[in-house]
């Protein structure tokens, strides 16, 4: 009994020595909204705590002054020097990456022209980046417009899918440049050492008689595939139960078949799949074995849960083991 009393006494002293100060405060965002589940790391004790549902926290710390780091996904981490005898009001700022996710994507930018906003549109469980396109502009007032190159052509097939289903087409699924790219407009190689060849055409607008449409045909110099270094492609494919829909795994398989046709014998391809379990579905295989690769893709079936983290680690490990220097 005496030994037990001594042990309890020592335990109380140790606890009192470690947590003799009590740090309190709250974590909010820039809009003054509380942030729950913020990781709070106490540097001196090397221990981690979390803010409560209201963003508040109260933790034992070994020193009256300490260094604390606050971390939350989507926000910039913040390290501060604090005193436990003062209430702490911590404000976390949204990270630049997280802030850009919800911003509309610009198709083109006209200098000095303010972009107009509009409402979001959603259908079923499909989502699209909100596109901000220029309205008709007075070229004399706004002569400079910059735009990005786009070689995609999926929008045409996607819109056709909605029409065939007799469904309303989401506005942000309508991407004019991809619809134009869908058609063969007779590639014309750039002349001499030029990287691009640009031809333009100005026509009347069918739906607005007093407006005109400018059509630009931009052709870039093609790569000499014989001079392109060997490729080492490692694909991580989700075959969980959520992929069991016509516009998911089957669509991925169809796209993959197009990709296979462009593989060279010097290229290698590997596939890591996850759906219930994680595994290497296709070991590193030469692009010359297109039949083997094609059959491997067609053999994928959707089932199981989504162990994303372990799948990503497995894919990186495989990529590292087959890394081609240079």
Would the pLDDT of 318 be above 90?
Answer: no
Average pLDDT for 62-82: 90
Average pLDDT for 291-302: 92
How do the domains of the chain map onto residue ranges? 2-95, 102-173, 184-222, 229-321
Q: Is there a contact between 63 and 44 (Cβ–Cβ < 8 Å)?
A: yes
Q: Between 36 and 6, where is the model more confident?
A: 36
Which pLDDT belongs to residue 115?
52
Which pLDDT belongs to residue 8?
47
Class of the CATH domain delimited by 229-321: alpha beta
Q: What is the 3-state secondary structure (H, E, C) of the chain?
A: CHHHHHHHHHHHHHHHHHCCEEEEEEEEECCCCECCCCEEEECCCCEEEECCCCCEEEEEECCCEEEEEEECCCECCEEEEEECCCCEEEEECECHHHHHHCCCEECEEECCCCCCCCCCCCECCECCCCEECCCCCCCCCCCCEEECCCCCCHHHHHHHHHHHCCCCCCHHHCCHHHHHHCCCCCCCCCCCCCCEEEEEEEEEECCEEEEEEEEEEEEECCCCHHHCCCCEEEEEEECCHHHCCCCCHHHHHHHHHHHHCCCCCCCEEEEEEEECEEEEEEEEEECCCHHHHHHHHHCCCCCCCCCHHHHHHHHHHHHHHCCCCC
Which pLDDT belongs to residue 197?
92
Mean pLDDT of all residues belonging to the chain:
82
Which residues are CB-neighbours of 116 under 8 A, at least 6 positions away?
132, 135
Which pLDDT belongs to residue 18?
45
Would the pLDDT of 12 be above 50?
Answer: no
Would the pLDDT of 288 be above 60?
Answer: yes
How confident is the model over 104-147, as pLDDT tens digits? 555 555 556 555 544 455 566 677 777 666 666 777 887 887 77
Q: Between 290 and 251, where is the model more confident?
A: 290
Total-model pTM: 0.51
| CATH topology match: 2-95 vs 229-321 | no
Average pLDDT for 82-101: 82
Q: Between 66 and 121, where is the model more confident?
A: 66
The backbone torsions φ and ψ at residue 43, rounded to the nearest 5 degrees and listed phi first, read -65, -45
Task: Name the pLDDT band for 156 (thresholds 50, 70, 90).
Answer: very high
Would the pLDDT of 326 be above 90?
Answer: no
Measured over all CA atoms, what is the biggest interatomic distance in the chain, rounded to whole angstroms? 101
Q: What CATH fold (topology level) applies to the domain 2-95?
A: Immunoglobulin-like (2.60.40)
């Amino acid at each position: 009994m005496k030994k037990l009393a001594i042990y309890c006494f020592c335990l109380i002293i140790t606890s009192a020595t470690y947590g003799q100060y009590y740090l309190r405060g709250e974590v909010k965002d820039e809009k003054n909204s509380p942030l729950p589940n913020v990781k709070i790391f106490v540097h001196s004790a090397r221990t981690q705590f979390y803010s409560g549902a209201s963003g508040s926290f109260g933790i034992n710390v070994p020193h009256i002054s300490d260094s604390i780091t606050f971390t939350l996904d989507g926000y910039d981490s913040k390290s501060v020097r604090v005193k436990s005898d003062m209430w702490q009001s911590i404000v976390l700022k949204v990270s630049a990456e997280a802030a850009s996710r919800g911003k509309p994507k610009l198709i083109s930018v006209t200098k000095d022209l303010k972009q107009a906003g509009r409402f979001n549109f959603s259908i079923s469980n499909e989502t699209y980046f909100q596109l901000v396109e220029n309205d008709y502009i007075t070229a004399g007032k706004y002569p400079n417009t910059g735009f990005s190159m786009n070689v995609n052509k999926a929008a045409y097939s996607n819109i056709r899918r909605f029409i065939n289903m007799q469904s309303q087409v989401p506005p942000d699924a309508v991407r004019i440049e991809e619809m134009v790219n869908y058609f063969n407009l007779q590639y014309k190689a750039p002349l001499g050492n030029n990287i691009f060849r640009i031809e333009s055409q100005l026509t009347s607008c069918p739906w607005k008689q007093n407006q005109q449409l400018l059509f630009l045909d931009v052709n870039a110099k093609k790569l000499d595939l014989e001079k392109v270094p060997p490729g080492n492609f490692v694909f991580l494919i989700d075959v969980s139960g959520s992929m069991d829909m016509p516009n998911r795994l089957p669509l991925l398989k169809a796209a993959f078949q197009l990709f296979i046709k462009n593989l060279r014998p010097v290229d290698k391809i590997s596939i890591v799949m996850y759906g219930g379990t994680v595994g290497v579905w296709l070991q590193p295989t030469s692009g010359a074995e297109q039949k083997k690769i094609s059959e491997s893709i067609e053999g994928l079936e959707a089932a199981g849960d989504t162990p994303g983290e372990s799948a990503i680690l497995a894919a990186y490990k495989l990529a590292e083991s087959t890394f081609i220097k240079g």
